[in-house]
Each structure stands twice: as C-alpha cells, then as structure tokens.
C-alpha cells in the first residue's frame, strides 16, 4: 500500500489525483502531518509526501530502522514539478515510484541513486537475493573497474558491464558458498523441492528435512523457487506452512501427471495412498531438470515427510519488440523497459540506430542489414537458448510484416517469449489521414519476394469484393513497379474513381509527408517502399480534407437521405 500525505490545498489536489488513479494501491492519511507520516511509515510499503524534502527528512529520520525494512519515500513539491526519490530507492522501490508518479502528474523524476544516475542495473534491483560486497562491486561497476561475471548456472540477467577477469566478481550461483572478498553473490531461483508428507506431518519436520537436504548437497535455500507436491496434499498444513516460511509458492500436480514422470525411486506406498508411485521426486521433476537430491526421508521416527531437489535450467527470455513507426514518443513504455532489460539486442542496423541511446551499458548488439530477417530470428532464439535476456526488434508492430513470425517459427517451448506491441505503419498513417480505418479494414503487403503474386492478387480481389478498406504495405520499389497499379486496378473494378486514397510516407518521422487523393488520380510512380497507401471503401469520404470511413453503412444511408 502507498500512503499519501499532504499539508496544503495544492498538495491535496495532486494527492487526490494519485488516489483516483490508483484506488487499490493508495491510502490517504489525514490529520496533522507529523502524525500522518508516522502512521503511514509504520503501515505502508511506500509513501508519497506532498511536502518539502527537508520537512520529510526531519519527520522520517527518527523512524529509520534499516535499508531493507524502511518503506520507499517519494516527495512531490507543491507545484507538482518534481517527484524526488528520497528514501529506499532500490529496496523500497522509490525510484520506480518516482517515475510512475511523474508520468501521472506530468512531473520530472529526480533519482540520485548512483547506478540509476548512470543507467546501470543495480545489483539489488535484479529481483534476486544478493549478498556479499554489494556496495564494493557496485562501486567498481560505477568506476569502470574490471568486474568479472562467474556464472555457475545460466540465468537471464540485464546488461552489466562485466568481463571474464577482474579484481571484483559477480557470482551467479545456487551453491551454498560464502561470498569472497570483493565478490557479490546473486542467487537465481533454480531449485525445485518436491515434498511428500503423511497426514499431520509437523511443519518443523518438513523444514528440517528440506534444510538438511539442501545443506548436505551444498545448495542455498535462497535459490529455492517453489515447493511442489501432489494436489491431494494441497491443504496439508505442514507443507503449506513450510512454503510460507520459506517464502516460496506451493505448486501442486495431479496424481496422473506425477505418475507419468519417470523417477529413480518409485514406491508402492504413495501409489496406494494418493495414486502415484512417486510424490517428492516426480513433483520436483515434472518440469524437467537435473535431480540433485534423490528422494530422502525425514529423520523422525516414524518418518512423516520425504523430499527431493531438482535444478531446473534457467530459461532464456526472448522479447520481440515493436519500435513503432519511428517517432520516439510513439515508442511504448513497455518497449523501452524491454530494451533496457535485454542483455542482447538483435536487429536491423537502421532500427538499432534509432534506439541505441536507450540501451544500458554492457548491452551486446548483434545487428545486420536488409534481407537477413531469418538469420536475425535464428540468432535471437539461439541467444535466448543460452539463457540470455534477448530483445529482437522490428519497426511498427513486430507481429505485422516483421520479426515476430520468423522468430516464433524458430522458437520452441524451451525459452520464454514475450511480445511487445508497437504502433503499426497502418495505424500511424491512419491517424495522419484522419479516420480511414473506422470500419473493417485489412493490410496487404504487395511484396512478392516471400509470397507468390497469385496469392496476393487473390487476397486483393477478396478485399475488393468485400468492400473492405485496404492498406498496402511495401507498395512499390525499383524492382517491383507493376504490382501497385495491378492492385489498384482490381479495386477499381468495385469502387468508383472518386474513392478516397491516402498516401503517407515516413509516418511520424521528421521527413513525414502525406496527401489525400482518389483512386482515379493516384499516380503509382509517386509511391515507394517508405510509403503506405490506404484505399477507402465505398462509404469512405473526404470530409474537410480528412479521410473518414463511417463505422457503419447505416450512417452513410442516413447522410445521403438528409442530403
């Protein structure tokens, strides 16, 4: 919960805007400011104070207890010009909150955390438990000193300026090791603990068994991702409480699912009790991985719990990102976040140049020229399979005549794939022209490099006969100068020469140009590959120089009747 505190009418107005925008995330604290801050500090994970920073410093100073315990605090000035991350920038999430508040209020975020100031991913912001010389290693990264990455397991990390050798080290491991000097240890959640238990098994027995199994195998409890068991034990108090104390989810599977898992130590006892010859090993292995600790029983007599431990391989992450039509303000916040998260960027060289300044230091860039789409798709998937966090970029929306299709054709279920939508050329051009896509519409590429012309022509005829607005991508190039006239001729068989046609070149870019013409007047020679051509349907009109397609034909009939 985010506590909101203000002292003046101006502050209360901005406070109320946040409260209205985030009704489920915020709570307004009224009354004397000192009392409100103290109460909110004790009750909330974060605070937004519409007060001077000096006043907030004096109010919260006596309340501070520790970096990992204190809430994140953001200060917003009375004029709503700045949102200052004052306390708990990383651990308390104040840096991210300051940016959110700024987006909502139109303010400028003020973030002074060292890593954020130079756009480095802070070791304590990666979502992984971290221990050791975090401050020293972070300072070395900031100072440009050589910091080595030693990865015992694969895990997708954001970009970090690391090397093979260095005086400082970041170690990525699930092993039970103590951090050496000048070393920060990151604990990825790679371990799955399968648990079986008799009815009424005490939570202490389950926890002791899990702890002993991990310790004797040299594994860190901080890398446990989940406890897993059969669904018949989903309400078993000892298992449920053990998961709660470990701070991990409890995942359950049906007896049928577990019975289908090949395990080294099946038993008749669980088969008779819950319908599967294995609970602990099968539950740990159901998602695949390496069995590090075979089934073992608790030390109690009689033993009421069993467990097994599996290391699941770190899954790479492929984000297929649409960059939009070119203008920076049409690049979505989600796309920006994925670009900053990726440690490997794959893309067409000219698209990489568009967003190079948004990449974090240490991002590995794999760029290539036109015509290498399938190669880029393969490269991106291969990098993700190595456990990397990869961004594959394309213009417009990556799923529309872009990189999503070839990438997903290469990808299997051994990596995570995230699609990030972008503003397509058709949408960008439509917004410039007016409202040409107000009714049913279709996009058709006239490039026959990958699609036979016979197929393209059949689709154009179908759109013409169905009276659908058509946006032509890739309409004309030096080597393909007859396809657009042919397509326009097909449409002309079903539409009058007065049908509005919009022509937009380089939509949203500095050299953008657009014009509204008609089907009978359009000269195909004025169109190139940087252009999209939108042809209206029989209801589309030129209204005050704008291309407008009514949402329904009844509107057209009513308009014509009025005339």
Tens-place pLDDT, residues 456-489: 999 999 999 999 999 999 999 888 899 999 999 9
pTM, two decimal places:
0.73
Average pLDDT rounded to a whole number, residues 275-280: 90
CA proximity to 174, closest of 206, 113, 128: 128
Strand segments, DSSP code E, in 38-159 are: 46-50, 72-76, 82-87, 108-110, 130-132, 147-151
CA proximity to 493, closest of 529, 462, 530: 462
128: pLDDT confidence band, cut at 50, 70 and 90? confident
- The backbone torsions φ and ψ at residue 144, rounded to the nearest 5 degrees and listed phi first, read 75, 15
pLDDT of residue 11: 86
Torsion angle defined by CA atoms of residues 483, 489, 494 and 497, in that order, rounded to the nearest 10 degrees? 130
Give the span between the Cα atoms of 134 and 122, in whole angstroms: 9
pLDDT of residue 559: 54
Structure tokens at 301: 């007599």
* Residues 156 and 314: beta-carbon distance below 8 Å: yes
Over the stretch 434-445, which tens digit does the pLDDT of each residue have? Answer: 999 999 999 999
What DSSP string runs through 371-428?
T-HHHHHHHHHHHHHTT-EEEEEESB-TTSSSSHHHHHHH--TTSEEEEE----HHHH
115: pLDDT confidence band, cut at 50, 70 and 90? low
**Which DSSP state fits 62?**
G
Longest dimension (CA), the chain: 93
Q: Is the pLDDT of residue 117 over 60?
A: no
Q: Which residue has the higher pLDDT, 523 or 561?
A: 523
Average pLDDT rounded to a whole number, residues 220-242: 94
Give the span between the Cα atoms of 94 and 40, in whole angstroms: 15
In terms of phi and psi (left: phi > 0; alpha: psi -120 to 50; beta: otherwise), the region of 89 is: alpha
- The backbone torsions φ and ψ at residue 208, rounded to the nearest 5 degrees and listed phi first, read -65, -40
Give the orientation angle of helix 9-21 with respect to helix 94-105, to 10 degrees.
Answer: 100
Strand segments, DSSP code E, in 44-88 are: 46-50, 72-76, 82-87
């Amino acid at each position: 919960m985010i506590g909101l505190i203000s002292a003046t009418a101006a502050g209360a107005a901005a406070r109320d805007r946040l409260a209205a925008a985030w009704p489920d995330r915020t709570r307004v604290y009224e009354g004397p400011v000192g009392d409100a801050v103290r109460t909110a500090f004790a009750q909330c994970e974060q605070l937004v104070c519409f007060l001077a920073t000096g006043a907030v410093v004096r109010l919260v100073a006596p309340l501070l207890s520790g970096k990992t315990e204190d809430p994140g605090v953001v200060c917003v000035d009375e004029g709503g010009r700045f949102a200052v991350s004052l306390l708990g920038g990383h651990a308390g999430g104040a840096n991210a909150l300051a940016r959110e508040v700024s987006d909502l209020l139109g303010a400028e975020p003020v973030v002074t955390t060292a890593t954020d100031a130079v756009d480095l991913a802070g070791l304590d912001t990666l979502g992984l438990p971290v221990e050791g010389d975090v401050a020293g290693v972070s300072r070395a990264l900031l100072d440009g000193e050589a910091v080595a990455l030693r990865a015992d397991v694969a895990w997708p990390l954001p970009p970090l300026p690391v090397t093979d050798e260095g005086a400082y080290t970041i170690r990525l491991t699930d092993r039970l090791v103590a951090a050496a000097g000048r070393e920060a240890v990151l604990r990825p959640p790679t371990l799955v603990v399968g648990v079986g238990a008799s009815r009424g098994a005490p939570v202490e027995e389950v926890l002791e068994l899990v702890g002993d199994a991990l310790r004797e195998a040299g594994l860190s409890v901080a890398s446990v991702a989940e406890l897993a068991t059969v669904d018949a034990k989903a309400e078993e108090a000892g298992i449920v409480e053990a998961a709660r104390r470990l701070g991990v989810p409890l995942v359950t599977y049906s007896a049928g699912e577990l019975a289908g898992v090949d395990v080294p130590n099946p038993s008749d006892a669980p088969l008779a009790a819950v319908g599967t010859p294995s609970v602990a090993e099968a539950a740990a292995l159901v998602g695949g991985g390496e069995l590090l600790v075979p089934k073992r029983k608790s030390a109690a007599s009689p033993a009421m719990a069993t467990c097994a431990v599996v290391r699941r391989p770190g899954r790479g992450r492929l984000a297929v990102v649409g960059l939009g039509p070119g203008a920076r303000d049409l690049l979505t916040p989600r796309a920006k976040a994925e670009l900053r998260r990726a440690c490997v960027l794959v893309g067409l060289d000219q698209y990489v140049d568009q967003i190079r300044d948004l990449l974090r230091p240490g991002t590995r860039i794999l760029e290539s020229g036109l015509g290498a789409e399938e190669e880029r798709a393969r490269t991106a998937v291969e990098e993700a399979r190595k456990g990397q966090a990869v961004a594959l970029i394309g213009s417009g929306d990556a799923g529309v005549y872009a990189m999503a299709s070839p990438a997903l054709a290469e990808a299997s279920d051994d990596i995570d794939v995230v699609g990030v939508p972008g503003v397509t050329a058709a949408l960008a051009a439509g917004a410039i022209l007016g409202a040409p896509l107000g009714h049913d519409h279709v996009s058709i590429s006239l490039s026959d490099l990958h699609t036979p012309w016979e197929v393209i022509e059949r689709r154009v005829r179908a759109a013409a006969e169905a009276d659908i607005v058509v946006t032509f991508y890739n309409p004309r190039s030096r080597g393909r100068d007859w396809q657009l006239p042919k397509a326009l001729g097909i449409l002309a068989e079903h539409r009058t020469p007065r049908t509005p046609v919009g022509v937009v070149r380089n939509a949203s870019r500095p050299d953008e140009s657009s014009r509204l013409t008609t089907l009978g007047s359009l000269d195909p020679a004025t169109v190139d590959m940087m252009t999209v051509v939108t042809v209206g349907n029989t209801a589309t009109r030129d209204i005050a120089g704008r291309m407008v397609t009514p949402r329904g034909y009844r509107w057209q009939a009513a308009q014509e009747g009025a005339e």
